[in-house]
Amino acid sequence: MNPFNIAIIGCGTVGGGTAKIINEINSDLNDRAGRSINLVKIVELNAPVAMDRFNLPATLFCGGGKAITPAEAESYIHEILNNPEIHLVVETIGGTSDFVHDMCIKTCQAGKHLVSANKALLAERGKDILEAAEKNKVAIGFEAAVCGAIPIIKTIKESFTGDEIISVSGILNGTSNYILSRMLDEKLGFEQALKLAQEAGYAEADPTLDISGGDAAHKLIILIKLIFGLDVSMEQIKYQGIRNISATDIDYAKEIDAALKLICYAKRDGDTVFGTVCPMMVKNDNFLSGIKGATNAVRTINKYSGKHILIGAGAGSAETASSIVADIIFTARFSEKMQHNLPSNKLEFKDLRYFTFPFVITFETEDRPGITGLVTTEIGKQLVNIYTVTHNRQIQDRALFSIETQPCTLKQIHAAVQEIKRSGILKSEPKVFPILF
């Protein structure tokens, strides 16, 4: 059987899971690939820990299973890239450093296929990696970079090639969804729910990338490139996270028959693509509203085939590794026929300020007569129609209430809020949530 030899660079949670799957079901993988899938090299600084954690033999590791230094690791990587018998490199180091970026470029230049779960690298510095893969006629697989075990990349690249995706929306960060789910189900505050997420292993000791919306933004950038052929930066996305979400915000969502979720959203309208990552009030008849815990889900709306929803585990060692192994098998079978370039379109990208949504605006103001009328008047001056106004909730000398608008732009709402601020009645910055149907 024609051999297909693989090296893994980085044997932590995802790389180790990949090695484990290849070893455990190797015979099945050979049958699926029509080739002999051989894991021949692993580069890992702390090899003894990886060997024990994933039950891997010392012979697979550069250095014979001993811990190695960064300099030694770099030397072993150089040997791998110059070994013509190695056909594919799996990058599971992570991060966006020059070292990892350059290693991916050199992998392609060496004529080797590349598989990576590195969403941050692909989102922030992926353009020249993809160009290097195309130029050197090698395949690059990154299914695991977006939503772990969910095959959203292959679905877009393969299954929807006879259709046109109009919009994509989804819950692409399991940590944030876990926190919001606990806040809703157990009426917890944000800090309490975050602590539970950390104790359960869903949130890191430093959860900033997850709760800031940055992780979700990386994934959305990759999807925007795949679907609309548009290169977008993190600055353009203008992402928001969930740190400032309160139990009151959760309650306001329930009042309008919705659930508060951190949503990735992108839609094409003519020659413009609108995109954002932010907390949205998702109506309960939208399937995304019912996604609980650390689960991920993606919904596309297609021109010809309508709505599609993919649901599954968005993280985890075995879950993410299964997507990497799928990329390996797919590359082993079809590398000569794979399309190496991604679409490129001259479209204009705009953030949420310019896209029409219905919104919920929550206000904390002085508690005195006429406040609600003042607020609604200023909103009306911006030609924004109001759908509902909730009753006031009094807390000491403050009033809390929310306003649900008809579809308008965030730019209009911001203009109204600036005028309301001039009145001096606000006790805190109003919160604005798009409503997703």
Active site residues per annotation: 219
Q: By three-state DSSP, how is residue 293 classified? A: coil
Q: What is the DSSP letter of 341?
A: P
Residue with tokens 């993410």: 320
The whole-angstrom separation of Cα 79 and Cα 96 is: 22
User: β-strands 258-269, 295-302: how paired?
Assistant: unpaired
User: Which ranges in 163-246 belong to alpha helices (H)?
Assistant: 174-186, 190-199, 208-211, 214-228, 234-237
Q: Identify the H or E element spanning 23.
A: helix 13-24
Count CB neighbours of 258 within 10 A.
23
Strands (E), 319-389: 348-350, 356-357, 359-366, 386-389
On whether the CB atoms of residues 326 and 150 are closer than 8 A, the answer is no
Please tell me whether residue 178 adopts helix, strand or coil conformation. Answer: helix
| Rounded Cα gap, residues 143 and 428, in angstroms | 42
Q: What do you get for the CA distance between the two ends of the chain, in Å?
A: 52
Beta-bridge partners for 277? 264
Torsion angle defined by CA atoms of residues 256, 260, 265 and 269, in that order, rounded to the nearest 10 degrees: 10
The conformation of residue 232, written as its DSSP 8-state character, comes to -
